[in-house]
A and B are shown apart, each in its own frame.
Chain A
Amino acid sequence: MSTYISKRLIYMLIILLAASLLVFSLYALTPGDFISGNLKLSPERKAELREIYGLNQPLLERYFIWMKNALHGDFGYSLAQQTPVLTLFNQYIWNSFLLAIVSTFMTWLIAVIIGVNAAYKQYSWFDTLVMVGTFAAMSIPSFFIGLFLIKVLAVDLKWLPPGGMLATGSNATGLAYLREVVHHMTLPVIVMTLLGLGSLTRYFRSNMIDVIKQDYIRTARAKGLTERKVLFTHALRNALLPAITLVGFELPALFGGSLIIEKIFNWPGIGQLYMQSFGLRDYPLLVGFTMLIAVLTVIGTLLSDILYHIADPRVKL
């Protein structure tokens, strides 16, 4: 196992290095740079600024400088905000995390409840309804459902605020601050939960169906246990176990924010930061963000494989 993990770690490192070169070159290839977008500058000043930022150097040289600094934990300065990229990430990432952790929790909770019930009543009308519902959840364009709910719940009915994290010009503190944030995050959390429900509900349902057919469930019933106990103590535990491998795959979503949802709801998270920076061609930030997700993806996959081994020791790594 330890040789497997060390081999795996070396491979991860190589893939990430290759990915960083590719990502860096692609962003450098993206037309325009941070300076060319500014119309107020004279050509001389632009050349001067490019010199200062090092944008006039050859691509590979820029990459190696970036890489050298990155290995020292320095991901450069955001050109637009003149702040270290990591400081900015630290500032925005927790807003993304808040949104992600609440909606992930809601998704898992609801998916387990619906999945177990649908599996128990397999082929009933409730089950069919759940199946259609999960397909619906998997087929909604995320940006459209976001816009649609803003239109209905925020603009027309005025139940919830349309976007942002706080009301404009708000300086609430303490409990009032908390209430305001909760009020603002309700809508994005509903959308993210809805979008995640589809595949997860199907997953729990099919796991549960597999487990219910096992001999030990029949034994539990034969012992005269209540159906409730059989279902929620004996069956659910075994149906949940394989799901811990999914935790790893959630990692990029938990810390990487959601580009689309944060943009639509104007949520001050890291995804929204990326979307703003994309138009400005703020390379250090764009490269930093993309590599952050890549690192999280790679770590998440490794984590999943290890958890899979722990959950089911028969699986060889």
Chain B
Amino acid sequence: MSSMSEISTGKVPKRTPLKSSIWKQSMHRLFKDKLAVTGLIVVIIMFIACFIGPIFSPYSANKIHMNIMNHPPNMRHWLGTDGLGRDVLTRVLQAGRISLTVGLASMILSVFIGTLLGAIAGYFRGIIDQIIMRAADLLLTIPSLPLLFIFGALLSEWKVPTDYRMYIVMVMLSLIGWPSLARMVRGQMLSLREREFMQAATVLGLSSRRKLFHHLLPNIVPLLIVIATLNIGGSILTESVLSFFGLGVMPPTATWGNMIDAANNMLDFQNRPWLWIPPGFSIFVTVIAINIFGDGLRDVLDPKKKR
């Protein structure tokens, strides 16, 4: 009777937080979903291959070998070599590092900005809500691709070093991404703040900060996780479009998008498909795996939305 003795000695029995059991249940259900698990495994393999793979490659991604230019795939170079004699497989993996990082980072940034602004707008209402939501409306009205093209052209003019361009591309993508997220978070906030538990929080005299960060935001975390996951795929796709048109991350920093740029060269396009098809398929496989996993997550975490 340990609990009895604890009570008699005045010690409060350690409370196991209920939250973890809900998470555990969700995870349990998630791992029963074969499709979602397959997606997760593919994503993990992709990450490992891109971040660790190049270390084991005998070739360097950027070293030029004039004597082995444009070799088709063979036993030594599994995906062939490009016009500068660089091993395509190593480059695809190296490019994956950048593409995955950009996708992940811009997702984190846009979810952060979108949640913060949406939560503030929905919680405080009034003038601050007006300002934030009108800015979001404005950004949603202007078509995003031309907007990104303009930013890309600005970057080129300001002679941003190619190493830094990827960071600015991340910021660009999150600038485009936050408005729809903020709108959704605000909507959730508006409905949550009318619920009884928030009245209780007000009666208890909790501060706005505490209500916002300890009572309101935790309630939308499951939804945010789902959206964030699906957002990574979208960011990877947009980055690839920008880089393909030469307005995103630029060579020599390889990304999947700017590797496909090889297809703009007629000779490479027709005769050397090993230069641009592998990065294209890498984008496809990664994004589909992320989307399938994200959808599985949605089934588990957001039961209101059916598949």
Contact = CB atoms under 8 A, between A and B. Distances in A.
Contacts of A294: 141-143
Interface in A155-169: 155
A298 interface: yes
B280 interface: yes
Interface string A243-266: 000000000100010011000000
Given A141-B283, A143-B244, A151-B273, A135 B292 contact: yes
Contacts of B157: 30-32
Contacts of A289: 146
Interface residues of B, number: 42
B288 A128 contact: no
B237 A297 contact: no
A206 B307 contact: yes
Interface string B272-307: 010011001001100110111001000000000011
Interface stretch (A16-24, A78-86, A185-193, A233-241): A16-24
Given A16-B141, A139-B233, A147 B291 contact: no
A303 interface: no
Interface string B224-267: 00000000010001001100100000000000010010010000
A141 B147 CA distance: 19
A77 interface: no
Interface size class of A (residues with CB under 8 A): 35 or more
A260 B241 contact: yes
A139 B138 CA distance: 27
A15 B133 CA distance: 11
A259 B283 contact: no
A136 B288 contact: yes
Most buried by A among B143, B260, B273: B143
Contacts of A147: 260, 263, 269, 276, 280
Nearest to B285: A139
Nearest to A14: B134
Given A31-B154, A143-B241, A144-B283, A278 B138 contact: no
Contact of A30 (B154, B273, B284): B154
A97 to B, nearest CB: 17
Given A22-B138, A286-B146, A135 B280 contact: no
B142 A22 contact: yes
Main SS of chain A's interface residues?
Answer: helix
Contacts of B52: none
Main SS of chain B's interface residues?
Answer: helix
A293 B143 contact: yes
Given A32-B157, A135-B295, A206-B306, A19 B276 contact: no
Interface in A1-44: 15-16, 18-19, 22-23, 26-27, 29-32
Interface in B115-152: 134, 137-138, 140-143, 145-147, 149-150
Nearest to B264: A147
A210 B263 CA distance: 45
A209 B307 CA distance: 10
Given A30-B150, A30-B153, A31-B153, A259 B145 contact: yes
A259 B143 CA distance: 11
B143 A290 contact: yes
A131 interface: yes
Nearest to B280: A144
Contact of B237 (A31, A131, A141, A210): A141
A19 B142 CA distance: 7
A139 B287 contact: yes
Contacts of A110: none
B62 interface: no
B141 A29 contact: no
A83 to B, nearest CB: 21
Contacts of A141: 237, 240-241, 244, 257, 260, 280, 283-284, 287
Contacts of A274: 146
Contacts of B280: 141, 144, 147-148
Contacts of B244: 141, 143
Given A18-B138, A139-B291, A31 B156 contact: yes
Contacts of B284: 136, 139-141, 144
Interface in A104-143: 128, 131-132, 135-136, 138-143
B144 to A, nearest CB: 10
Contacts of A138: 288, 291
18 contacts: A15-B137, A19-B138, A26-B150, A29-B150, A30-B150, A30-B157, A31-B158, A131-B35, A132-B292, A136-B288, A138-B291, A143-B241, A144-B283, A147-B260, A147-B280, A209-B306, A294-B141, A297-B140
Given A31-B158, A131-B307, 18 more contacts: A18-B138, A30-B153, A31-B153, A31-B154, A132-B35, A135-B288, A135-B291, A135-B295, A138-B288, A141-B240, A148-B280, A151-B273, A202-B307, A256-B143, A286-B146, A293-B143, A294-B143, A298-B141
